[in-house]
């Protein structure tokens, strides 16, 4: 349809994939799976169903040169620059007013630049269904069928099934639930009523702006000031002035938990947030010994390892369930079950003033 | 005494310390413990009891430039070059004829360039005792009190105690025993009658040459030809011609097992052959978590590791009992209990033609 648009959220940094991800080289700009970067994958997924002119990217100003070079077909004016990170609510609201100016009837999909989706065809099908439902006035979320009791994601509890469209069941959302502890996560998964909140949403722009007006009126007022200046010579200055006043909030807490008429389509699309090295290991097909090898490697009795290097020969003997990431200036060796602790490493380097390595 | 000499055997290559040891940079030339190389440690140990002019080094011609630069005080003529490796019997025989030419009454200690000795003072004391006994006509071996049932060393079984000199017990040797299997090694250690054969010997040069004449007459004849040419313009050419005919043999099998009147002084001098990375780990004093760190390291939940790198930051998370050696062109990560397998790595690289890394 002529008024379908996609907004790819590409503002994060992904410190838990350090030392590959850096301040100047965020996760969405990395070749984590195959030869294409995560942002390129995110755009590639859309192009069979959307023209490139209707794909927008929200990111920080500092990342625009890097990211625009990776997706040169995206028109420069489709890069929406956040002056500073204010959480997903602000970023989505900003994108909504940009789209409103472009097309007051825009139907807007909010997607992510740094997540992996294995079943791209299914993703495209469900996205089409979601656009269709959004056109009918729904706020649509894509819920990920949970594959384990994750404690790192928010969950969506479904209520009654309200429709079935092209083979996808559509449910009323009963509740958005913040990240649970392990016990509750296990209950959620066992119940069969919960999906992971993937952060992918589809809605009409006028509808989401009405939700902002109702549930985040302060932010809505600021967005209105930004919207009024768009297309005028004052646009940049107004944005810079107004933006710091936008309160930091997630779209989940700010809008989704309060909005009515939200629906969820639970889908199994082979989704991963690649939140850390263990998650990246998980999305790769492994060879017989369960190793994922990227680089020049010789292994003896090496099992369940992710080895990522460059030209230097990496030899492993008797290494098991370990992540090895060798870069120009840092070597990381991390037990797979400690992959979360990479964040603590980055914090420690920050505290030690070793910012040149971040 | 004026006729005490030391011959340091420095011809080996030490592939199990790869990737630090290389063809062009053998183990004895490496700074494995502290700032001094293994050869420098070996010479340092002797200088309080011997003048540098009486310290000789047997090595391959290709290593002479490297090694002589490390011990510049050793006179160039004290480097004895093996044209090719023919085992310890040939190397020791060659050194004996060089010493014979220098001093027909020489008392010769055979020592090693690539072993670690923690208790240097005790080593010096026992070496003095050994020189003394050798002057009386004994063939003296230093036996290492075994600290575990090693299967990688030969053993010496002692017989009757024949003397006590300066607090050291001296025993007749009953047998030299080749590397045992684990069961026999355990029996040896439990019996209290066995020492490790460290490859350190002391004897009069005329005595050892008589042993060669008796037990290795073919080698003795070749050594005589080399000896006859020493100091003449033909010396190098004769050595090059004769040497390939010297049969490859260890001094243990060729001489020691057959000689009579051999004595052993069992000593506890904190000896290690540093045969592999695990052995190198073992000789280091470790910090609280049992880590040995050489380089720029940040560890979280890291225990029992040996980390050796350069300027590059090495970060380890949840790593235990592992060797990490980062060099310019190779990174090795090896479970400590698989340290022996580094030899297999080197063999595999050799088979793959990757000789630039060896």
Q: Tell me, what CATH number does B55's domain have?
A: 3.90.550.10
In a mutational test of the A interface, the residue from B311, B331, B342, B346 whose CB has the highest number of chain A CBs within 10 Å is B331
Judge if B243 and B186 occupy the same domain. Answer: yes
Judge if A235 and A302 occupy the same domain. Answer: no
How many percent of chain A have pLDDT more than 70?
A: 100
Q: What confidence category does residue A281 fall into, taking pLDDT thresholds of 50, 70 and 90?
A: very high
CB-based contact, A335 to chain B, within 8 Å:
yes
pLDDT tens digits for B259-308?
Answer: 999 999 999 999 999 999 999 999 997 777 999 999 999 999 999 999 99
Judge if B155 and B296 occupy the same domain. Answer: no
What does the pLDDT read at residue B286?
73
pLDDT tens digits for B119-173?
Answer: 999 999 999 999 999 999 999 999 999 999 999 999 999 999 999 999 999 999 9
Q: Name the phi and psi angles at B197, rounded to 5.
A: -85, 105
Distance CA(A103)–CA(A322), nearest Å, equals 50
Is the model's pLDDT at A286 over the cut of 80? Answer: no
What does the pLDDT read at residue B307?
97
CB-based contact, B354 to chain A, within 8 Å:
yes
Judge if B314 and B266 occupy the same domain. Answer: no
Is the model's pLDDT at A342 over the cut of 90? Answer: yes
Is the model's pLDDT at A242 over the cut of 80? Answer: yes
Judge if A219 and A310 occupy the same domain. Answer: no
Judge if B252 and B284 occupy the same domain. Answer: no
Judge if B184 and B73 occupy the same domain. Answer: yes
Q: What confidence category does residue A293 fall into, taking pLDDT thresholds of 50, 70 and 90?
A: very high
Contact status, residue B191 vs residue B89, Cβ threshold 8 Å: no
User: What's the DSSP call for residue B253?
Assistant: I
The H or E element spanning position B14 is: none
Contact status, residue B45 vs residue B6, Cβ threshold 8 Å: no
Judge if B328 and B259 occupy the same domain. Answer: no
Hey, are the CB atoms on A322 and B319 less than 8 Å from each other? yes
| Mean pLDDT of the region B307-327 | 97
Is the model's pLDDT at A288 over the cut of 80? Answer: no
- Predicted structure pTM score: 0.89
Q: DSSP per residue over A234-293, as a string? A: THHHHHHHHGGGSPP--HIIIIITT-SSEEEEEE-S-EE---SHHHHHHHS---TTS-EE
What does the pLDDT read at residue B285?
76
Judge if A225 and A103 occupy the same domain. Answer: yes
Q: Which residues of B touch A348 (CB under 8 A)?
A: 298, 300
Domain that includes residue B176, residue range: 4-272
- For B330, the closest of A315, A354, A357 (CB atoms) is A315
Q: What confidence category does residue B219 fall into, taking pLDDT thresholds of 50, 70 and 90?
A: very high
What does the pLDDT read at residue B21?
95
Q: Which residues of A touch B316 (CB under 8 A)?
A: 332-334
Contact status, residue B343 vs residue B16, Cβ threshold 8 Å: yes
Distance CA(B250)–CA(B260), nearest Å, equals 17
CB-based contact, A333 to chain B, within 8 Å:
yes
Contact status, residue B177 vs residue B188, Cβ threshold 8 Å: yes
Hey, are the CB atoms on B298 and A19 less than 8 Å from each other? no
Distance CA(A106)–CA(A97), nearest Å, equals 10
Provide the shortest C-alpha distance from residue A237 to chain B (in Å): 42
Domain count, chain A: 2
**Cα–Cα nearest to A29, from A88, A82, A69:** A69
CB-based contact, B334 to chain A, within 8 Å:
yes
| Residue length of chain A | 358
pLDDT tens digits for B175-213?
Answer: 999 999 999 999 999 999 999 999 999 999 999 999 999
Judge if A182 and A90 occupy the same domain. Answer: yes
In a mutational test of the A interface, the residue from B317, B337, B349 whose CB has the highest number of chain A CBs within 10 Å is B317
What does the pLDDT read at residue B264?
98
Hey, are the CB atoms on A341 and B316 less than 8 Å from each other? no
Contact status, residue B210 vs residue B150, Cβ threshold 8 Å: no
Question: A162: exposed, middle or buried (C-beta count within 10 Å: 0-12, 13-18, 19+)?
Answer: middle
Distance CA(A57)–CA(A26), nearest Å, equals 14
Q: A112 has which bridge partners?
A: A9
The H or E element spanning position B142 is: strand B139-144
The domain boundary residue, chosen from B272, B287, B318: B272
Judge if A163 and A88 occupy the same domain. Answer: yes
Distance CA(B177)–CA(B179), nearest Å, equals 7
CB-based contact, A294 to chain B, within 8 Å:
no
Distance CA(B79)–CA(B26), nearest Å, equals 16
| Mean pLDDT of the region A175-185 | 95
In a mutational test of the A interface, the residue from B278, B299, B313, B338 whose CB has the highest number of chain A CBs within 10 Å is B313
Distance CA(B298)–CA(B315), nearest Å, equals 5
Nearest residue in chain A measured CA to CA from B322: A319
Provide the shortest C-alpha distance from residue B358 to chain A (in Å): 12
What does the pLDDT read at residue A211?
98
What does the pLDDT read at residue B12?
81
Distance CA(B18)–CA(B276), nearest Å, equals 9
Nearest residue in chain B measured CA to CA from A339: B317
Q: What confidence category does residue A116 fall into, taking pLDDT thresholds of 50, 70 and 90?
A: very high
Largest pairwise CA distance in chain B: 65
- Name residues 77-106 of chain A within 8 A of B (Cβ): none
CB-based contact, B236 to chain A, within 8 Å:
no
**Cα–Cα nearest to A43, from A85, A19, A79:** A79
Hey, are the CB atoms on A334 and B315 less than 8 Å from each other? yes
Provide the shortest C-alpha distance from residue B329 to chain A (in Å): 5
What does the pLDDT read at residue A106?
98
What does the pLDDT read at residue A285?
75
Cα dihedral sign, A115-A120-A125-A128: positive
Question: A112 to each of A41, A84, A200, B230, how far by Cα in Å?
Answer: 10, 18, 7, 81
The number of beta carbons lying within 10 Å of the beta carbon of residue A61 is 11
The domain boundary residue, chosen from A255, A272, A289: A272
- For A313, the closest of B317, B330, B335 (CB atoms) is B330
What does the pLDDT read at residue B26?
94
Hey, are the CB atoms on A329 and B312 less than 8 Å from each other? yes
Q: What confidence category does residue B1 fall into, taking pLDDT thresholds of 50, 70 and 90?
A: confident
| Mean pLDDT of the region A318-345 | 96
CB pairs under 8 A between A and B: 110
Distance CA(B154)–CA(A262), nearest Å, equals 79
Hey, are the CB atoms on A319 and B312 less than 8 Å from each other? no
User: Across all residues in chain A, what is the average pLDDT?
Assistant: 95
How many percent of chain A have pLDDT more than 90?
A: 95
CB-based contact, B351 to chain A, within 8 Å:
no
Is the model's pLDDT at B216 over the cut of 80? Answer: yes
What does the pLDDT read at residue A6?
98
Distance CA(B283)–CA(B356), nearest Å, equals 30
Provide the shortest C-alpha distance from residue B70 to chain A (in Å): 29
Hey, are the CB atoms on A315 and B332 less than 8 Å from each other? yes
Distance CA(A338)–CA(A331), nearest Å, equals 16
Q: B117 has which bridge partners?
A: B271
Judge if B153 and B286 occupy the same domain. Answer: no
Provide the shortest C-alpha distance from residue A118 to chain B (in Å): 29
- For A334, the closest of B318, B342, B357 (CB atoms) is B318
Hey, are the CB atoms on B338 and A301 less than 8 Å from each other? yes
The domain boundary residue, chosen from B240, B272, B304: B272
CB-based contact, A287 to chain B, within 8 Å:
no
Q: What confidence category does residue A336 fall into, taking pLDDT thresholds of 50, 70 and 90?
A: very high
What does the pLDDT read at residue A307?
97
Hey, are the CB atoms on B301 and A338 less than 8 Å from each other? yes
CB-based contact, A19 to chain B, within 8 Å:
yes
Nearest residue in chain B measured CA to CA from A333: B316
**Cα–Cα nearest to B262, from B170, B129, B139:** B139
Nearest residue in chain A measured CA to CA from B338: A318
Contact status, residue A271 vs residue A195, Cβ threshold 8 Å: no
- For B345, the closest of A309, A315, A337 (CB atoms) is A315
Across A51-167, where does the E strand assignment appear?
55-60, 79-82, 107-112, 116-117, 139-144, 155-165
What does the pLDDT read at residue A279?
93
Q: Which residues of A touch B21 (CB under 8 A)?
A: none
* Nearby residues of A34 by Cβ (< 8 Å), 6 or more positions away: none
Is the model's pLDDT at A229 over the cut of 80? Answer: yes
Provide the shortest C-alpha distance from residue A229 to chain B (in Å): 48
Is the model's pLDDT at B59 over the cut of 90? Answer: yes
pLDDT tens digits for B71-120?
Answer: 999 999 999 999 999 999 999 999 999 999 999 999 999 999 999 999 99
What does the pLDDT read at residue B135?
97
Helices (H), chain B: 38-46, 64-70, 87-102, 120-135, 182-191, 205-215, 217-229, 235-242, 251, 277-283, 342-351
Hey, are the CB atoms on A312 and B301 less than 8 Å from each other? no
CA atoms within a 13 Å half-sphere pointing along the CA-CB vector of B276? 18
CB-based contact, A332 to chain B, within 8 Å:
yes
């Amino acid at each position: 349809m002529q008024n379908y648009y996609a907004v790819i959220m590409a503002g994060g940094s992904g410190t838990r994939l350090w030392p590959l991800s850096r301040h100047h080289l965020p996760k969405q700009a990395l070749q984590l799976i195959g030869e294409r970067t995560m942002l390129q994958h995110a755009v590639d997924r859309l192009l069979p169903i959307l023209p490139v002119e209707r794909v927008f990217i929200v990111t920080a100003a500092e990342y625009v040169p890097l990211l625009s070079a990776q997706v040169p077909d995206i028109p420069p004016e489709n890069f929406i620059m956040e002056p500073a990170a204010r959480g997903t609510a602000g970023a989505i609201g900003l994108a909504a007013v940009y789209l409103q100016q472009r097309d007051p009837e825009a139907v807007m999909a909010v997607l992510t630049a740094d997540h992996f989706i294995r079943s791209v065809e299914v993703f495209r099908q469900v996205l089409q269904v979601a656009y269709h439902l959004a056109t009918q006035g729904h706020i649509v979320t894509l819920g990920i069928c949970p594959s384990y009791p994750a404690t790192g994601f928010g969950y969506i509890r479904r209520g009654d099934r309200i429709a079935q469209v092209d083979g996808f069941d559509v449910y009323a959302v009963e509740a958005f639930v913040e990240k649970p502890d392990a016990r509750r996560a296990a209950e959620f998964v066992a119940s069969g009523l919960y999906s992971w909140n993937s952060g992918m949403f589809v809605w009409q722009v006028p509808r989401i702006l009405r939700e902002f007006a109702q549930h985040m009126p302060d932010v809505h007022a600021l967005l209105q000031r930004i919207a009024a200046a768009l297309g005028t010579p004052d646009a940049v200055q107004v944005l810079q002035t107004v933006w710091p006043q936008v309160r930091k909030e997630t779209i989940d807490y700010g809008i989704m938990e309060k909005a009515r008429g939200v629906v969820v389509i639970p889908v199994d699309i082979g989704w991963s947030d690649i939140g850390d090295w263990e998650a990246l290991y998980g999305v790769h097909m492994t060879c017989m010994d369960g190793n994922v090898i990227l680089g020049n490697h010789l292994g003896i009795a090496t099992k369940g390892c992710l080895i990522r290097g460059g030209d230097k020969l990496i030899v492993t003997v008797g290494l098991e369930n370990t992540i090895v990431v060798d870069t120009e200036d840092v070597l990381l060796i991390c037990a797979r079950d400690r992959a979360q602790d990479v964040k603590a490493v980055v914090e420690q380097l920050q505290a030690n003033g070793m910012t040149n390595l971040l």
